[in-house]
Amino acid sequence: MKGLTNIMRQRDFISLHDFTTEEIKVLLDVAGELKRMRKLGIAHPYLQGKTLAMIFQKSSTRTRVAFEVGMYQLGGYALFLNPQDTQLGRGEAVKDTAMVLSRMADGIMIRTFVHEEVLELARWADIPVINGLTDLLHPTQVLGDMLTIKERKGKLQGLKLAFLGDGNNVAHSLLFGGAKVGMDVVISSPEGFEPDKNILASAKEDALKTKSVLTIEKDPQKAVAGADVVYTDVWASMGQENVADDKEKHFADYQLNSKLLNLAKPDAIVLHCLPAKRGKEITDEVMDGPQSAVIDEAENRLHAHKAIMALLM
């Protein structure tokens, strides 16, 4: 991989909905090649001399490590910005932060609660803005997920992915991702915890082009039946700790255990975006079992994030 295409240069990465099927294919191909080069010890300093400003309103393990290590491996520098150490934490306008960082850095990654903050940042920044997670979407996670599925299954189109749990940011991005690559996605959530209707409607518009089927299925057994990929996430997202006990009552039947996994295809793989509440949404037997691709999935965050940065910055 001597050079990188410029087709996405200076673009924002806020939602998979914003990218074409062909562009997502390029992102995945570049991620796979960067991973290969890393394993072979081939240097790939595509971002030498460049800086990524990382704003973390939400704490993180995988997102921070993937972006920070990724920038280092690409020859650049990642600057961690804790809200307690910056003027954002004291009420500075997102607009002002965006314009100042645009003069000093080459890209901004933000991980925050309110999705509108990312949109506001992108509106005023003159450099690429990467959505590292909001309460609405988690696109960088799902790009890593798709890389993992592609590695294990050899393709994405025509596969069935069943997601068990809250209709949250990961579920939303899986709908967008599946629709873009032609993968059928079933979201199985208890009544009252389904994905956002507007997100589902937008994803279904994308699905018309790839003929993927997006469905909401309350019954987890029906959702998992015949699935190639079974995916779960914590029932209470970060910031929802005060309602975690109450949510457990609604989600008890959605635990990913051996009995439920046996309804999927025999060669189905298990995914979890982590961190996991073992014994809650997933059992140790499944998470540590032979069908689990969870640790590969976590590693692939690094390679997917590197592809995003290399192509945008």
Active site residue 138: yes
The CA angle 8-14-20, to the nearest 5 degrees, is 50
* Cβ atoms of 190 and 248 closer than 8 Å: no
End-to-end CA distance of the chain: 17
Can 141 be counted among the known catalytic residues?
Answer: yes
Contacts with 71 (C-beta within 8 Å, 6 or more apart), sequence order: 47, 50, 52, 77, 78, 309
- Annotated catalytic residue: which of 44, 62, 106, 141? 141
Distance in angstroms (rounded) separating the CA atoms of residues 171 and 187: 7
Catalytic one of 62, 138, 172, 303? 138
Active site residue 44: no
Catalytic residue among 106, 184, 228, 233: 233
Say whether 233 is catalytic: yes
Q: What is the CA radius of gyration of the chain?
A: 19
Residue of 273, 291, 303, 305 marked active site: 273
- Examine the residue annotation and report whether 115 is marked as an active-site residue of this protein: no
DSSP-assigned letter for residue 54: E
> Which one of the listed residues 17, 62, 301, 303 is annotated catalytic?
301
Q: Is 211 left (phi over 0), alpha (psi -120 to 50) or beta?
A: left
Question: Which of the following is catalytic: 62, 111, 272, 303?
Answer: 111
Active site residues: 111, 138, 141, 233, 273, 301
